[in-house]
Structures are given as structure tokens and as C-alpha cells.
Amino acid sequence: MWLQAQKVQAYMVPDSAVTEGWLGFSFLARLCRLCLYTHRRMAITAEDVCLDRVLLIQEGFAVEEVPPENNLQIPGSDVTVQVTSGGASLLVRLPFGSHTQTFLREVRRRCSPGKKDATAADPEQSAAGEVTGAPRLKTANKMVPSSSVPASGPTQGLSTRPCGLRDTLVKSLLKQKESSYTHLQNFRFFVGTYNVNGQSPRGSLRPWLSQDGEPPDIYCVGFQELDLSKEAFFFNDTPKEEEWFKAVTESLHPGAKYAKVKLVRLVGILLLLYVRTELAMNISEVEAETVGTGIMGRMGNKGGVAIRFQFHNSTVCVVNAHLAAHPEEYERRNQEVRDICARMQFHPLEPGCPLLAIKEHDVVLWLGDLNYRLEEQDMERVKKLIQTQDFQALHQHDQLKIQREAKLVFEGFQEGEISFQPTYKYNPGSDDWDDSAECRVPAWCDRILWSGKTVSLLSYQSHMALKNSDHKPVSAIFDVGVKVVDKKSYCKAFEGIVRSLDKMENASIPSVTLSKREFLFKDVKYLQLQVESFTISNGPVPCQFEFISKPNEDAYCKPWLIAKPSKGFLMPDSEVVIALELCVNKSTATALNSGEDKLEDILVLHLDRGKDYFLSVSGNYLPSCFGCPIQTLCYMKEPIREMLPEAIRELTLMPLLTDDAFWEEKPLDVPKELWMMVDLLCRSACHQEGLFQQPGLRPEFEQIRDWLDTGTLDVLGPVASNHSVAEALLLFLESLPEPVVCYKSYRSSLECANSYEMSSQVISMLPKCHQNVFHYLVAFLRELLKHTGKNHLDVNVLAGPNPSSIPEGGQTITAKGNCHNCKRWKQ
């Protein structure tokens, strides 16, 4: 059986067309091959994907980089490679980044010269199946430019390949002495944002992109709502990406030539990065990431995309965000900004380096449709202030200004003075304010902010000439002071550091002092993070530390615990704060409820060339209905917190029954906790728009969880948001160790999804308690569908998005998978 070692996204490039697919590297024993898989646009099923061709890694196998037409190779841009094997040839374009790096490293590792990898036993390719020679990778090490740059290299940036303690120390000392071999040089950055409302480009974009006399050095251009179709949302594919990319490329400043560095898109959020061709070789370490914050807090209808790169010796991160709409949702917008900052992490090109967060860059440029509105302003008063151009008075009511001044969002960021009229909402095709039934109050939804000590704003304006959307585009031009390396000074600093290290190195063993070694987590609750911190203080010798796994264990800690950071480097007489984060989730709750696992662990902190330190972690977990089997909850007549641990253990570990004859006491038809949530939604949320599509609030979920676990009220008390109850219901189903449609029946349920009779038969074979829950949930969904005119729900929405897009989706897919039969059961 062939094993898939690595795969990477690839674009097959014949003469004129470009076909998207995947390039996979697989092996069987000592035999290796490259497989190209292609798929049709918006692929849904396995039939939409096909194996296009197979290239055997044999004698004559080669991978060669194809130089661009203008012979301009931009570090960080996509790379075109020619793959040949025997008489077969394949031309593909690979996206630049850590995934491509990993793929190529795996190919080199498996097929390095001197290793006798053979062809596959294909009767048409190798009838004898013999090893005919080792493959050769002509320029595999050049396919993706390395981030390691020697002092005399063409790229004026610094990044040292980490190979051990000494190299890490050299890198740290070079960073400390950076001012001795760099000087600041100003470069002009153009930053633009435009919500295009799903429209295609009409006419030139030069009134927006090229309004200044001096051509920028770097363009950062962002779009939102590129495509509003359902296909773009579900398949993350749209032809409008190419339309707007072409429109931008043709509208860049005519006074200079530009090369595209990177393009990244999440559904309708698109970010483009261009650089002047003569500066292209000073760009390195380009990475792109996306974070969805939309439906269920994860989907890509809202969220952010970002590109980070190194320009000379300065690091820059550009973020394009589209946040939640509606005036009253400013707190959700604040949360989405925090989520993007927390979840947006970039993988460095060099293995072993820590992930990079947005704020760990010298310069951060944040643009997008941030959707902050004006606080409770009368439409006529707003229009009057706009007419008199009293933007300063109007800006006092701007939500973003209010939230920033309260330090609730974008702390550490700056924004230029707003001297232009609100950019939303207009009648498309005109400069007239919205006169639709909604009649939106004008607002500055489209904004550009920045952080960085060397950034100065030159202009900040909107562009009324573009009229094909209900938004107006916004631009900002910055002078950014970038650290440029002086080669001679760098060599001098580097040699001085090496000499001092040679004198400093000795047989000294590193040692540290820990501020705390015992950690107690009290009253831990489901999905409620608890953090304990301690400080590692280093002695006079630099050291590397890392939490290591104990003998016969795969991880350094139990799955409900994590240390941040789990490894690192300490300079002499320095210190670092370590956070131990404990959170019980769906994968760990069941074992803690039953007593099979306890909040007890020993962590081993290892020093490179030093001794080990042992840390004791303990705590108590408050049992929760989240993570309990359906059968267990049906037999629990009392709240779980009022039950003895032995009783909880017995009920949790009992085998799944097909009938109720095993116990004398008759169980509940459905878990009381499930009934409480569904009952509340039936009574108050049938007309709620966006139910199960908009995430709830964390404090409200915690309140609901405690009500369910303690039984302080027979029914749920007042909850501010129906969305929080709906999300609690989804999290409850997600946490079930055995889903409603049991694992052993799940495949057959999918196979029978198009037949009501066969689906009914599958459901009838479920344990009684699971049958009851299934019918109860379907009845609830049917009740919601009766009010579709008000809640705008339909079968497709309730069936949920593509499960593969939901992180940690095993249980979520299964819990929501019960809705695959919604169309049949609707009858």
C-alpha cells in the first residue's frame, strides 16, 4: 500500500491554461513517486478529483526551477518548476511558503543521492522492477529561496539558520547590535481598502491606486465582499479574484514597474502585495495566513487575511479584515480583532523556530471594512454635519474612536485624522446616500491603522470617483523607516560576536531558578481556561530549555494542559515567564467526568547540557454534562454536580444499551439538559434571524453551562442572547463521546441519506436513548423551519457548512451530520 508522505498545492501550467491541483509525494518501501491530482472548479465529491499523472522517481528524475520571463526572481513569490522522469515532463507552479519548503525537504530526504530509491513495479514503466539508479534533484535547494542570507548576499536582510545553542546566541547578539550595522531609510507604502459589494471591476482603478505624483515602493491592496455568492462561501473559489487582480495590476502607478509578491484570499477577503521590481530582491521570508471569525466563529464570511515579510532587515505584517456588521455589534467586532490577533500565527521557513504573531513585527498595517458605525445618530443630523464638512464633530460619535480611547481594541495602533466623508453606505453607481428600506446611517466603515515606531502618515483619504459599490475605497500613504544593512558593519559585528563567544565558551553547565514548582488548579470547569504562571531565571550561562516527555509517553503533558512557551532560549541573567494553561474540552471531559483521568501531571523541564527540573500539576475538575454520553445523562435524574463520583463513574462507563431492561429505574426519554436548551429556543428563538450562524458570547455560555450542571433552576434563567443558547446546544452535541447517530451507524446513515425508508431503518437500529434524541432534534429543526419566513433558516443552512472547514471537527461533523437527513425528515 502506497503511503502519502507529503502533498502541496500545485498549478499545472500548460501553454495557456492553468489547472489547479495537488502534487503528492508517496512511497512504498524503497520506491517513490510523484502524483499530480487535478480537480474541477468547486469540487464536491471524490468523483470531482482525478489522478492526472504519475512520475516515477528513477534514473533521470530531475526537478528544475524555471526562471521567470523577465528573469526577476522575487524571494517569496510562487515558483515554477519543471519535473521530468524518463520521457515524461510536468510543469507546475508551487506556492511559496513553509508548506512548499516541507514538501521539498521530504522529497530530498527520501530521494537524496546515495540512497537507492527505485521505480514502482509498473509493467509499462519498469517490467523488471529493478533499481536502475538514484534520482538527482538538480536545483531542489534553489526552488524556494532560503531565508538564510550571508553577509555578502544580494538580499539586504538578516536571518541566521538555527542549528543549535551557539547559532541561536549569535542571532540574539546580532539582534542586540542591530543599530551598529543598520541605518533607517524611508520607503513609500501605499495601503488601500475597498469593499466591492460582490461587484466586478468597471473601469480603471487609477483614481484610487495612482492618485499621487510619486510612485509608491510597495502596494498593499485589500478587498472585502469580493464575491457574495454561496459558491464562494462554501467552496472558497471565485472567478472574481482574477478579475480584481487584473484590474489592480493594470492600475498601478505608471511611473514605476511592479512585481506581485503575494496574493491571499479567504472567501471574499483578498489581499495583494506588490513591490517595485528594483526592490524585489530585498523582500524575503514571505508568509500568508487566514483566520475566519464568521459563522460559528470560524467560517470565512468574516475574518482576516495577512501577509508578513521581511523588507531589508525590518519585518512587516499587513492585515486585511472584514468584521461583523450592524451598529450594535461593536463588542463582537472588538472580539474578532482579538481573535485575529490571537489565532493569526505565521510559520517561519526554518524548522524549529517559534510561530510569529501579528504584533511581533516592526511594522503592522491593518486595513479593511472594520464595520464600526456611528453611535445612535439621527440620519438627518449626520447628513447635515457631512454637508457642512464638520467631520471632527461627527467623528466624536465614531465607535472605533470610542473603543480605541477606552483601550478595548487596537491598543498600540494609530489612525490618521479623518478629513473625508463617511465611506458607507451609498446607492451603487452614485454618490447618493442609501435610500433603500434599510436606510443605513452613513459611517466610516473602511479604515486603515498602523503600529510601528518608524511609520509616518503622509495622506489618508477616500476616493469618490469609484462608484460601483455601496462603499467608497480608502487609501493611506506612509513613509516607513526600514532598517537597511551595511555589509561591512555587519561583517565587523558578526566577527566580533564570534570572537567573544570563542572566549566565553567553557564547560560551564547552565542552571536556572524556578519561582514555583507546584501548581494547583481549583474548581476547573468545562471550556473555562485557567492559567498559572512561573518565572525561569537564568544564571550566567546562556541556555536552551524545553519541556520533554516522560518515558513511554508521547507528549510532555496531558492533553488538557499546555505550557507557553514550551521551549526557548535564555540569555545570561535573563528570565522568562511560562504560562501553564489548563482547559478541559470535548476530547478530555469524558475521562475526567468518569474518573478515568485526574487533573494530575508531572512536567519535566529540560536544560540543554544541564539538568532536569520537575513540576507538579494538580487540581479538581467539576463534573459537567458536557462530555457525558447520552445514555448516562438519561439515567441522571439529578444535576451532575449533586451526584457522587462513584455514581457518575458507573453511569459513564456502563455499556451502550439497545433497550432499557438493564436498569430497574426507567430513564428519561431525552437528557434533561438537552430539553432545557431546546425548550428555551422553541419558546423564544423560533423567529430569531441568524440562529446557529452567529456565535454566542463566552460569559453567557459559561452561565448556561453552570445552570445545566448545578440545576439551580428547573429551566434556564434569563439569557441575553438566543445565539448563546444555540451555541451551547451545538457545543453540547459536539462534546458527546458517542454522537447521536452512533459511530458504527454513521457511514450507513450517509449512504442511506437519499432514502427516507432506509434512513428510518438506520435510525430504528440506534439505542433507544439515541433514537429519542434524534427524533427530538429533528422535531426541533422542523419547528424552526415552520418559521423560515422570519428566521430565514432553510434545510441547507441547518445542514451546516462543509465539515472539513470546522477545526477539530470529528465530533462536530458527527453531531451536525444528523442534519444530512433533514430534507427527508422534513416530510
pLDDT digits (tens, 9 = 90+) for 253-312: 999 999 999 999 998 999 999 999 999 999 998 999 999 987 766 666 789 999 999 999
Q: Rounded to an integer, what distance in angstroms lies between the CA atom of residue 108 and that of residue 397?
A: 59
pLDDT at position 662 over 60: no
Cα 309 to Cα 301: distance, rounded to the nearest angstrom: 25
Separation of alpha carbons 478 and 202, rounded Å: 28
CA 798 to chain centre: 24
pLDDT value of residue 813 = 28
What value does the mean pLDDT take over residues 497-515? Answer: 80
- Span of 113-122, 189-198, 679-688 with lowest mean pLDDT: 113-122
Whole-number Å distance between alpha carbons of 529 and 675: 27
Indicate if the pLDDT at residue 366 is higher than 90: yes
Residue 535 pLDDT > 90, yes or no? Answer: yes
E strands, 528-649, in order: 530-538, 543-548, 561-564, 567-570, 575-582, 600-607, 612-621
| DSSP H or E segment with residue 288 | strand 283-292
Inter-residue contact 470 to 425 (CB < 8 Å): yes
For cell 498595517, the residue is: 365
Identify which has the larger pLDDT, 13 or 119: 13
User: Which of 179 and 656 is assigned the larger pLDDT?
Assistant: 179
Rounded average pLDDT over 771-789: 93
Report DSSP state, residue 216: P
Segment (H or E) for 7: strand 3-12
**Which residues make Cβ contacts (< 8 Å) with residue 708, sequence separation at least 6?**
624, 625, 639, 673, 676, 677, 716
Euclidean distance between CA atoms 457 and 450, whole angstroms: 9
What's the Rg (C-alpha) of the chain?
30
Mean pLDDT of 235-240: 74
**How sure is the predictor about 236, in pLDDT bands with cuts at 50, 70 and 90?**
low
Any idea which residue has 464638520 for its cell? 390
Residue type, 581: E
Q: Is the peptide bond before 425 cis (omega within 30 degrees of 0)?
A: yes
Chain centroid to CA 260: 23
CA distance 19 to 574: 53
Separation of alpha carbons 188 and 209, rounded Å: 13
- Grid cell 525537504 in the structure block, residue: 105
Starting at the edge strand that comes first in sequence, how are the strands of the sheet with 79-85 ordered? Answer: 49-56, 31-39, 19-28, 3-12, 88-94, 79-85, 62-65
Q: Is the CB of residue 35 less than 8 Å from the CB of residue 26?
A: yes
Separation of alpha carbons 244 and 223, rounded Å: 9
8 Å CB contact between 524 and 530: yes
Alpha helix stretches (DSSP H) within 711-821: 722-734, 743-751, 756-764, 768-785, 788-791, 795-799, 809-817
Instruction: Give me the residue label for grid cell 447628513.
Output: 383
Grid cell in block for residue 716? 434556564
Q: What are the cell numbers at 672?
A: 434533561
CA dihedral 588, 589, 592, 594 (to 10 degrees): -120
pLDDT, mean over the chain: 82
423 with 472: CB under 8 angstroms? yes
Give me the mean pLDDT over the 79-94 stretch: 77
pLDDT-derived band at 214 (thresholds 50, 70, 90) equals very high
For residue 623, is pLDDT > 90?
A: yes
pLDDT mean over 45-64: 72
What is the average per-residue pLDDT within 760-765? Answer: 91
By CB neighbour count within 10 A (0-12 exposed, 13-18 middle, 19+ buried), where does 531 fall? Answer: exposed
Cell of 608: 540543554
Q: What is the pLDDT of residue 169?
A: 83
The amino acid that residue 381 corresponds to is: R
